[in-house]
Amino acid sequence: MSVTARYVHQVSKPAGAPTRDNFAFVERELSLKPGTALVENLYLSVDPYMRQLMDGGWELNAPLEGRSIGRVIESDDPGLAVGDVVWHRHAWRTHALVTADEARVLPTYSDVPLTAFLGILGGTGLSAYVGLTKVAKLLPGESVFISAAAGAVGSAAGRIARLLGAGRVIGSAGSAAKVDHLTRELDFDAAFNYRDGDIIGQLAKAAPDGIDVYFDNVGGDHLEAAIESLRERGRIAWCGGIAQYNATVPPAAPRNLFDVVGKSLRLEGFLVRDYQPVRTELEALLVPHIQSGAITSDETLTDGFDHIVDGFLGMLTGKNIGKMIVKV
C-alpha cells in the first residue's frame, strides 16, 4: 500500500511570536517498510512545549514530533495489527510509519473518548497528576493555585486537585469567559483574570489565608505572586513557563525569589517523560469518573489537517479552553 502523506515542516525560526510563515505543508508518497506499521493519524496534539522546540529543538525542513493517535492500516510488525488504535509521537502529518517499540496500543474503555488520551488521560493529565502528587505532594485540605488554569494542563490539574481532596482550588486565566468557566464548570473556588493586572493583589484576594501549593504553567509574574502568597514550607511544581516562551529578553519577575529561602519553600521543575510508569495510577483514578460523566476531558477541537498551524498558534495565544486537539 502506498499513500500520499501530508506533513508540516518548520522552515524558519521565529523572532518572538511564531507565525504561519515559519511553517510549510509538504507531500510525499509513503509505503510500508519491513518491521513497521503504516498508521493513518486521527488526532494530533499541539502543545505549549512545542514553542520552545521551534528555537532549536526541531530540525528545519524535517518532520516534526508530537503526541498523536492513529489507526494501523497496514502492518509488518507482529506487535501491531491492522485496526489497532495507537498513541505515538509522529505528529504534524496525516500518516506515519511506526514500530511497536515506539507506539502504545490504546486500551478500550467504554464511554471514554479517544481524544481523552491526548488530554486528561494523556501527557496533559499526566503532567497535572505528577505535578500535584509526585512533586508538590498535595495533601487533603490544602489550598492550591494553578496558573493558566483554563488551558490543557491547568484544567486537568484543577479537576485532579479536587479529586485529591484539595481544600481550596484557585486559578488564573486570560479572559472573563475563562474565569467564569473555571468557577462554573470546573468547580474552582475562585479565579481571576490576569489581564486585569495586579496579579499579586488578585491572588491575595482569592486566597486571603495563603496557599500551600502552586502549580506553575506560566512563570514570570505569576510565580512572583505565588511566592508572595505561599505559606511557610509551601511547594511549587513548575511545569511550564509560557509567559516567556516568546520573550526576546529575560523576564524581570520573579523579584522575590529569595523568599523561597525565607519561607523554606520548595520549588521543583519536572519533565513528564520521566514519569511514564505513573500512567496506570492516573487511569485508575480518572477512568471511572470519566465513565460516570463526573469528569470530562476539556478540549478545543480544530477540524482538519489544513488548520493545524492555526490550531497551534491559537493555542499559544489562549484561544483554547482545555486541550487543543487537531482532528485530521
- The tens digit of pLDDT for each residue in 33-48 reads 999 999 999 999 999 9
Report DSSP state, residue 93. Answer: B
Q: What is the C-alpha to C-alpha distance for residues 39 and 47, in angstroms, rounded to an integer?
A: 21
pLDDT at 87: 97
Grid coordinates given for 155: 484544567
Q: What is the pLDDT of residues 261-273, one digit of tens each?
A: 999 999 999 999 9
CATH number of this structure's domain 123-273? 3.40.50.720
Q: Residue 287: which H helix or E strand, with range?
A: helix 279-292
Strands 211-216 and 143-146: parallel
CB 311 within 8 A of CB 326: yes
**Which residues of the chain fall short of a pLDDT of 70?**
243-250
Strands 168-173 and 299-303: unpaired
Domain extent listing, the chain: 2-117+299-327, 123-273
Q: What is the C-alpha to C-alpha distance for residues 110 and 112, in angstroms, rounded to an integer?
A: 6
Q: Residue 280: which H helix or E strand, with range?
A: helix 279-292
Q: Which residues pair with 322 in a beta bridge?
A: 151
Place of cell 463526573: 294
pLDDT at 313: 97
Exposed / middle / buried, residue 35 (Cβ in 10 Å: 0-12, 13-18, 19+): middle
pTM over 0.85: yes
> 2-117+299-327: which CATH number, 3.30.70.920, 3.40.630.30, 3.90.180.10, 3.40.50.920?
3.90.180.10
Report DSSP state, residue 131. Answer: I
Q: DSSP readout, 151-194? A: BHHHHHHHHHHHHTT-SEEEEEESSHHHHHHHHHTS--SEEEEG
